[in-house]
Structure 1
Amino acid sequence: MTDASRAADRGHPNQWALVLAAGEGSRLRALTTQPCGTPVPKQFCSLSGGQSLVEDAMTRARSLVDAERVCAIVAQQHHRWWSSMPALATLPHPNLIVQPSNRGTAIGILYSLVHILSQDADAQVLLLPSDHYVAQESTLQRSLQAAMEYVLRCPDRPVLLGLQPDEPDGELGYIVPDQLDPFGGRTVARFVEKPELPVAAQIVRAGGLWNTFIIAASARALLNLFLPRFAPIVMEMQVIVGNALEHRSAGGWPAIVDMYTRLPDLDFSRDLLEGHEALLSVLRVPPCGWSDLGTPHRVGETVRKFTGERTVGPMTELSTYINLAARHAHFERSLSGAVL
């Protein structure tokens, strides 16, 4: 695809990107807790001194869609971090979607979809997690573009990006592809979440893919995944958020806060995607040095494999993020009993 055609796609009037940046990153707190005891969510950290992970995700989003259609969902309790990052703080007001508390990935996505649909009833959305490291961005970029082209052809069928594994990994989720579909992807046979390593090896040999949680679809198709089981939640959120956005009244935010106190915790993979495999497709992403940096072990492996850093200097805290590579070196020395 030429640069001109990419620019044309970036200007497509209904294509949106949503950066998911409201998670807590609790499994990485051994590396992301400040000396004062405050844990920093991993999306506001850097792997090795460059941009933070959420800034990387925002760059990814802006390379695919027009800047006016890039959104991010963040958490109110993380205000101290996202408010100081220009990539987030300078988003158009409707595009910085703030949720009052964490109720799981499904609730965060639903809340965001309601916001986006209030601006564009025909929106096609690319969901981008904000906690991924990618060594070869151009490889992932081509797959992201392919996913968005897939949605142009088939907006009502969500498509997931599954990464071709370079080795079995028991800390990741897997997508097992099935038959070719008419639009260039494969149907989804099943999901397997964090299998034991021997099972993961069998899945990889059978063609299983790492689940990146990158998803593209029309906003309506994603909303429809909620309706069979969670229609009352969808309808309440549409009313309360719709009123808040329409009237911009002082009572809008308290009503959203009150709604969140009554919402259940819902996981998008477990509670929405599993059981809807027949409605989904998957596109294979070639190896690109991808990691979700989900645990200290994965941070260490990523540093060793992809950044070329065998040893890292003292811990470095920059103005808004923590250097995960330096923290991991400190963490490993602590585990080995070395004197720090």
Structure 2
Amino acid sequence: MEGSRMPNQTWSIVSVADDGGRIRAFIQRWLGHPKPKQYCAFVGGRSLFQHTLDRAAGLCQPERIVTVIAREHRREAWSQLDGRTGGTVLVEPRHCETAASIFLPLTYIRARDPRATVVLYPSDHFVYPEYRFLGSVRRAVWTAEWLPDRLVLLGVPPDRLELDYGWIMPGEQLDGSTQYQIKAVEAILEKPTAVQADAALAGGALWNTGVLAAKAELVWQLGWQCFPDLMARFEAFSAVIGTPREAGVLDEMYQEMPAHHFFSELVQCVPERTAVIEMSDVLWSDWGKPEWITNSLRRIGRQPAFPLECLNRPFAPISQAVSDGSVAANM
């Protein structure tokens, strides 16, 4: 099933529309001004966004990468894309939760390649080592080709009880491999309670990395099943892509775009249409808290780009910093 080359219909979606708000205050302390998490280089010289683009380019042709950025972050995004092939870059008029950020690029991909297999990459996660992570993504792509009626998720073994991560309960094995097992999914938990997360941990569940491979048409069909109000808008929008009306229709569509969450309102609702591959020997974190960043870097022997004092230094709220001019002075 698996080979050294990716199927020629493999596409990547890199979504950078969210601003990583959970560590916004920490970034304010570190840099002295607000900056979306994805565009920060917490270690080395590449931001999380740039790392994600480079991973995507390692598995598919650059012209088959579709990146979604927020309108208010255009300047930052374009500066970090300089010298990189970002494929198609789409600008969301406003952030309307994760479903819109996924179905917008999917609309463009279906218009160009109806038989596409897509890989969804969160743009603000840490993985190490990258070559092992990419090996798991390759397996997910080949699995999506083999099982075109399944969304293929990548999961990692948990090392603690965690309420901020989604959990995947694996079911029966779907393939005959003893090395890289592909399993059905019994249940998916997004935003679990402490009792639910503790039961998932005890029951051998995996953390959901948010990395997903699937046939584009399957995702489209499931979108219609789970939130037809959103899909009707994107279905109509697909008819104007490439015409002079495209930009105007996009802006108008986003004025009243329904806000839906892709994982909790779609993936969690169709466990029977999903499969999971466990990533082994890969360190993964969504770096949603400053201490998660330092812990990850300590495990790989790297020093963070920020002083550790930023983890506990008192600071003025962002609104106060704006009012007294300290933010503007540092931008």
TM-score range, shorter chain: 0.7 to 0.9
Q: Give the AA of the match of 1:124.
A: T
Shift in alpha-carbon separation, 1:113–1:230, aligned structure 2, 3 A: same
1:272 to 244, 266, 278: 266
1:240 equivalent in alignment to 2:237: yes
Residue in structure 2 matched with residue 193 of structure 1 by the alignment: 190
* 8 Å contact from structure 2 (residues 111, 238) kept in 1: no
2:313 counterpart SS class: helix
1:34 to partner: Cα distance: 7.5
Q: In the aligned structure 1, how far is the partner of 2:138 from the partner of 2:83?
A: 23
For the residues of structure 2 that align with 1:112 and 1:118, how far apart are their CA atoms?
Answer: 10
Quick check: 1:283 aligned with 2:262? no
Q: Does 1:91 align with 2:70?
A: no
- Secondary structure of the residue aligned to 1:83 is helix
Secondary structure of the 1:84 match is helix
Runs of 4 or more above 6 Å deviation: 34-37
The letter for the 2-side match of 1:23 is D
Query: Who is 1:82 aligned against?
Result: 77
1:278 match: secondary structure: helix
- Tell me, what secondary structure is at the counterpart of 1:125? strand
**Counterpart-to-counterpart distance in 1, 2:284 and 2:194:** 19
Structure 2 equivalent of residue 56 of structure 1? 51
Q: Name the SS for the 1:17 alignment partner.
A: strand
How far apart, CA to CA, are the structure 2 residues paired with 1:105 and 1:169? 21
Percentage identity across paired residues of the two chains: 28
In 2, Cα distance between equivalents of 1:176 and 1:219: 24
Q: Distance in 1 between matches of 2:160 and 2:114?
A: 41
Whether 1:212 aligns to 2:209 is yes
- AA partner of residue 251 (structure 2): V
What is the distance in 2 between the residues matched to 1:54 and 1:35?
Answer: 19
Q: Which runs of 5+ in 1 are unaligned?
A: 313-322
CA contact (8 A) 2:13 2:118 kept: yes
| Distance in 1 (alpha carbons) for counterparts of 2:46 and 2:271 | 36
Distance across 1 between alignment mates of 2:225 and 2:67 = 26
Contact 2:290 2:311 in 1 (8 A): no
Corresponding position: 1:67 with 2:62? yes
1:301-340 equivalent positions in 2, closer than 5 A: 301-309=295-303, 323=305, 326=306, 329-334=308-313
Partner of 1:169: 162
CA distance in 1, matches of 2:135, 2:192: 29
Displacement after TM superposition at 1:56 (Å): 0.7
Q: TM-score, normalised by structure 1?
A: 0.83
Q: CA deviation at 1:199?
A: 5.2
Structure 1 position 222 matched with structure 2 position 219 = yes
Partner residue, 1:123: 116
User: 2:99 aligns to what?
Assistant: 106
Query: Is the Cα contact below 8 Å between 2:189 and 2:268 reproduced in 1?
Result: no
Please report how far the alpha carbon of residue 104 of structure 1 lies from its aligned counterpart in structure 2 after TM superposition: 0.6
| Unaligned runs of at least 5 residues, structure 2 | 316-331
| Distance (whole Å) between structure 1 residues aligned to residue 234 and residue 19 of structure 2 | 23
- 1:273, distance to aligned residue in structure 2 (A): 1.2
Aligned length: 311
Q: CA deviation at 1:27?
A: 0.6
For residue 19 of structure 1, give the secondary structure of its aligned residue in structure 2.
strand
1:177 alignment partner, SS class: strand
- Offset, 1:24: 1.2
How far, CA to CA, are the matches of 1:90 and 1:221 in structure 2? 28
Shift of 1:163: 0.8
Comparing 161-170 and 206-215, the one that deviates more: 161-170
Quote the Cα distance in structure 2 between the aligned partners of 1:236 and 1:89. 32
CA distance in 2, matches of 1:48, 1:334: 20
